[in-house]
């Protein structure tokens, strides 16, 4: 059975103090609760080690939002997958549309990052999704197929089985416009079929596929009630315990 996951992506928000407070607050709020999903928080690099140390990482998994496409060495300012893993983080968000758009991360670069993340024992949360023009032109299925194939389909079945996929339509990110539950279900089924064609039914069935894009306490229940929507990757609403908790409790 595949896992349900609600993951927060804090993006470039929170000072160290604010981040510690948010993580500890969430840890407190989750204490003693029986959850029907795993919970993950994607924090800035600067917070990872202290947050992993301050919370119960059996209840809240910690994620980085990126890692380098190089192993180690003279790459000033970069943070390697090994460094991320050494903080106690277990996940890394890769291929977010903001990184693809603003930092020119290509399919080839992302392929290298995925390989390095896996080699260092991290679970990649690999983001895919189309822009509005592509959706309007009816190209969204082809776009996500391309993103998955170009960066992930050289992986062995064993490695592919370790990934989490996050479908995040770019037009829904930070806009307040969510994909409808039916739209999310439709494309998640499509992604699962594409995976099945390459890796077989069992691996496709076991692959966790998250939805991301303006998910909140009001729309989460309907989205995660869909059989192929296995949780969410949440930006804005993950920045407060009060807004994040109802999404976690949507399962
Ligand atoms: P919002 O939830 O703020 O739309 O962001 C979604 C996202 O990009 C998560 O990675």
pLDDT, tens digit, 9 for 90 and up, residues 29-85: 999 999 999 999 999 999 999 999 999 999 999 999 999 999 999 999 999 999 999
Phi-psi region of 64 (alpha: psi -120 to 50; beta: other; left: phi over 0): beta
Model confidence pLDDT, tens digit, residues 127-145: 999 999 999 999 999 999 9
Beta-bridge mates of residue 126: 94, 165
Q: Per-residue pLDDT averaged across 3-7, rounded?
A: 98
User: At 214, is the pLDDT very low, low, confident or very high (cuts 50, 70, 90)?
Assistant: very high
Q: Report the percentage of the chain scoring pLDDT > 70.
A: 100
Mean pLDDT, the chain, integer: 98
Q: Which domains does the chain have, with CATH numbers?
A: 5-248 (3.20.20.70)
Q: Per-residue pLDDT averaged across 167-196, rounded?
A: 96
Cα of 17 to ligand 1 centre, how many Å? 22
Atom of ligand 1 nearest to the CA of 216: 2
Report how far residue 234's alpha carbon sits from residue 237's, in angstroms, rounded to the nearest whole number.
6
- Say if ligand 1 is within 6 A of residue 232 CB: no
190 contacts: CB under 8 Å, gap ≥ 6: 141, 144, 145
- Say if ligand 1 is within 6 A of residue 30 CB: no
Atom of ligand 1 nearest to the CA of 96: 10
For residue 174, what are the CA distances in angstroms to 92, 119, 156, 178, 194?
A: 20, 32, 34, 9, 27
Cα of 97 to ligand 1 centre, how many Å? 10
Position 1 scores a pLDDT of: 83
CA-proximal residue: ligand 1, atom 2 (nearest): 235
- Say if ligand 1 is within 6 A of residue 179 CB: no
DSSP the chain: -PPPEEEEE--S---HHHHHHHHHHHHHHHTT---SSEEEEE--GGGHHHHHHHS-TTTEEEEES---SSSSSS-TT---HHHHHHTT--EEEE--HHHHHHS---HHHHHHHHHHHHHTT-EEEEEE---HHHHHTT-HHHHHHHHHHHHHTTS-HHHHTT-EEEE--GGGTTTS-PPPHHHHHHHHHHHHHHHHHHH-HHHHHH-EEEEESS--TTTHHHHHTSTT--EEEESGGGSSHHHHHHHHTT-
Atom of ligand 1 nearest to the CA of 127: 10
Is pTM beyond 0.75 here? yes
- Say if ligand 1 is within 6 A of residue 214 CB: yes
**Which of 45, 53, 55 has its CA nearest to residue 241?**
55
Report how far residue 63's alpha carbon sits from residue 214's, in angstroms, rounded to the nearest whole number.
20
59, 111 in Cβ contact below 8 A? no
Q: Per-residue pLDDT averaged across 212-236, rounded?
A: 98
CB-based burial of residue 188 (10 Å sphere; 0-12 exposed, 13-18 middle, 19+ buried)?
buried
Beta-bridge mates of residue 39: 6, 60
Position 120 scores a pLDDT of: 98
- Say if ligand 1 is within 6 A of residue 170 CB: no
Residues with a known catalytic role = 96, 168
Evaluate if residue 99 carries a pLDDT over 90.
yes
**Which of 244, 222, 218 has its CA nearest to residue 233?**
244
190, 144 in Cβ contact below 8 A? yes
- Say if ligand 1 is within 6 A of residue 95 CB: no
Beta-bridge mates of residue 165: 126, 209
């Amino acid at each position: 059975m595949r896992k349900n996951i609600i993951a927060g992506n804090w993006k470039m928000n929170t000072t160290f103090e604010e981040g510690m407070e948010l993580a500890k607050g969430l840890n407190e709020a989750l204490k003693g609760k029986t959850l029907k999903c795993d919970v993950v928080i994607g924090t800035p690099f600067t917070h990872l080690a202290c947050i992993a140390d301050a919370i119960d990482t059996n209840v809240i998994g910690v994620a980085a939002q990126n890692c380098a496409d190089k192993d180690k060495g003279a790459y000033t300012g970069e943070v390697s997958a090994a460094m991320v893993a050494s903080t106690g983080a277990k996940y890394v968000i890769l291929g977010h549309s903001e990184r693809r758009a603003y930092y020119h991360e290509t399919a080839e670069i992302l392929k290298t990052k995925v390989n390095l993340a896996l080699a260092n024992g991290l679970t990649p949360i690999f983001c895919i999704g189309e822009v509005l023009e592509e959706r309007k032109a009816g190209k969204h299925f082809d776009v996500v197929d391309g993103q998955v194939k170009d960066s992930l389909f050289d992986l062995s079945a064993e490695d592919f089985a370790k990934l989490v996929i996050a479908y995040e339509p770019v037009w829904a990110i930070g806009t307040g416009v969510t994909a409808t539950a039916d739209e999310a279900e439709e494309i998640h089924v499509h992604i699962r079929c594409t995976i099945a064609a390459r890796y077989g039914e069992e691996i496709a069935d076991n692959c966790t596929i998250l939805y991301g894009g303006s998910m909140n306490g009001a729309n989460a229940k309907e989205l995660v009630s869909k059989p192929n929507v296995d949780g969410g990757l949440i930006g804005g609403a993950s920045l407060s315990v009060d807004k994040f908790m109802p999404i976690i409790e949507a399962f």
